[in-house]
Amino acid sequence: MGIRGIHRLATAAVVAASALLLAGCGPSLADLDRPVPDDPAPPVAVAVAPLTGRIVEPGSLARPSLAAKIDNHGAARPQIALNRSDIAFEELVEGGITRYLVVWHSDVPEEIGPVRSIRPMDPDIVSPFGGMIAYSGGQPQFVEMMQDAPVVNLAFDTDTSGLFHRVDDREAPHNVVLDAPAAMAANADLAPPPIQFRYGSADPLAAKRFEAAATDRIDLVFSAARYPSWGWDADAGVWLRSQEGEPDAEASGDRVRAVNVVTLRVEIDTSGEVPRTVMVGSGEAWVSSAGRTAHGTWEKKDRDGRIVLTADDGRALPLAPGNTWVELVPDNGEVAFSG
């Protein structure tokens, strides 16, 4: 249920909810600024899930986020528990293929994977969330960068607590899986993640100021080897993912889906052996929610800063409450929206 669906909260509930929001980056509570009726409902305290914008019970998400580097090699598919994540990032790596950095918080699955090695842009992506990052190796300089980030490193190569294991139904190196509840239990003292995006209603781009275009398909090209797409399912109210022209399903058998698809144009630094997505900076952005797409810009001021989305009119570019995929499309790639 979105913020706009709550009509009978008493003043105490409004105060409780407001205290949980970051100024200027959480959902608006303007619709709750109305007189309490003569026969009000009992006060109900509410909280907002920081990585989805959904209404939750206070205290129910008092745990850290768990991020993991997830393989997207053909042999790694189908991945485990993508649809239970809050936010997923797709990034270009060597050979023209992509990998994911996926963040779980609202819902903790039993297992996640396949877990693979980190890349140089990953500290910039995960640092704003805090919490944990799980990965399986990486070049020493990249591992050192991640160890310097404000997150707890869970590394398969050095794990002595049994958090990781290899599964028999996949070939190495595409078979490393993390026990997510055990990782959460071992790091329960870490703080929950801060809010990352601005959230609005279930149809956040309906206002005329966004000049949002009706959209039923998103086509993206990272390289000749990776060209994902998303199709709008109006009945389900989600975007359904395809890869290289084929439906993309996770290990549960369900189609990979997202309430929001955020597409960012990014520079790729090719000066090293491994392509590095430049995450500190700014560029062109699109938000696709509820069958619409609005254009704007993105900005990230430093490693620890969140991604800020701004509409073309200079005001915030909001998302719908729900899970989000962030597509980091190279500046020499292709972005197309049709409707």
Secondary element (H or E) of residue 335: strand 334-338
* DSSP labels, 31-59: GG-SPPPSSPPPP---EE-TTT--EE-TT
In a domain, 57, yes or no: no
Instruction: Answer yes or no: do 36 and 156 share one domain.
Output: no
Task: Give the tokens for residue 334.
Answer: 């292709």
In a domain, 61, yes or no: no
In a domain, 60, yes or no: no
Averaged pLDDT for residues 178-200: 98
Query: Is the distance from CB of 179 to CB of 166 less than 8 angstroms?
Result: no
In a domain, 192, yes or no: no
Instruction: Answer yes or no: do 17 and 112 share one domain.
Output: no
Dump pLDDT digits (tens) for 281-333.
999 999 999 999 999 999 999 999 999 999 999 999 999 999 999 999 999 99
Instruction: Answer yes or no: do 153 and 83 share one domain.
Output: yes
Dump pLDDT digits (tens) for 207-218.
999 999 999 999
Beta bridge partners of 330: 266
- What is the predicted pLDDT for the residue at 38? 61
Secondary structure letter of residue 85 according to DSSP: -
Instruction: Answer yes or no: do 85 and 153 share one domain.
Output: yes
Dump pLDDT digits (tens) for 161-175.
999 999 999 999 999
Instruction: Answer yes or no: do 180 and 134 share one domain.
Output: yes
Per cent of the chain over pLDDT 70 is: 88
Query: Is the distance from CB of 153 to CB of 138 less than 8 angstroms?
Result: no
- What is the predicted pLDDT for the residue at 45? 84
- What is the predicted pLDDT for the residue at 37? 58
Instruction: Answer yes or no: do 70 and 161 share one domain.
Output: yes
Task: Give the tokens for residue 219.
Answer: 């086509």
State the pLDDT confidence band at 44, using cuts at 50, 70 and 90. confident
Averaged pLDDT for residues 172-198: 98
- What is the predicted pLDDT for the residue at 89? 99
List C-alpha distances in Å: 70 to 12, 51, 93, 146, 335. 42, 19, 12, 16, 23
- What is the predicted pLDDT for the residue at 41? 65
Per cent of the chain over pLDDT 90 is: 86
- What is the predicted pLDDT for the residue at 99? 98
pLDDT of 30 over the 90 cut = no
Task: Give the tokens for residue 126.
Answer: 């995960």
Asked if residue 35 has a cis previous peptide bond (ω within 30° of 0), the answer is no
- What is the predicted pLDDT for the residue at 8? 33
Instruction: Answer yes or no: do 14 and 91 share one domain.
Output: no
State the pLDDT confidence band at 270, using cuts at 50, 70 and 90. very high
pLDDT of 36 over the 90 cut = no
- What is the predicted pLDDT for the residue at 19? 39
In a domain, 194, yes or no: no
State the pLDDT confidence band at 43, using cuts at 50, 70 and 90. confident
State the pLDDT confidence band at 18, using cuts at 50, 70 and 90. very low
For the beta carbon of residue 19, count every other beta carbon within 10 angstroms.
10
In a domain, 138, yes or no: yes
- What is the predicted pLDDT for the residue at 15? 35
pLDDT of 129 over the 70 cut = yes
Overall domain count for the chain? 3
Instruction: Answer yes or no: do 246 and 315 share one domain.
Output: yes
- What is the predicted pLDDT for the residue at 74? 95
Averaged pLDDT for residues 135-153: 97
Task: Note down the domain range covering 285.
Answer: 208-338
Among the candidates 153, 186, 219, a domain finishes at 186
Task: Give the tokens for residue 128.
Answer: 């704003």
Averaged pLDDT score across all residues of the chain: 91
Instruction: Answer yes or no: do 261 and 332 share one domain.
Output: yes
| Chain center to CA of 333 | 21
pLDDT of 4 over the 50 cut = no
Dump pLDDT digits (tens) for 206-252.
999 999 999 999 999 999 999 999 999 999 999 999 999 999 999 99
In a domain, 182, yes or no: yes
pTM of the entire predicted model: 0.88
Instruction: Answer yes or no: do 334 and 214 share one domain.
Output: yes
In this structure, what CATH number is given to the domain that contains residue 116? Answer: 3.50.90.10
In a domain, 100, yes or no: yes
Averaged pLDDT for residues 185-197: 98
Task: Give the tokens for residue 252.
Answer: 């549960």
- What is the predicted pLDDT for the residue at 20? 40
Instruction: Answer yes or no: do 124 and 223 share one domain.
Output: no
Instruction: Answer yes or no: do 176 and 100 share one domain.
Output: yes
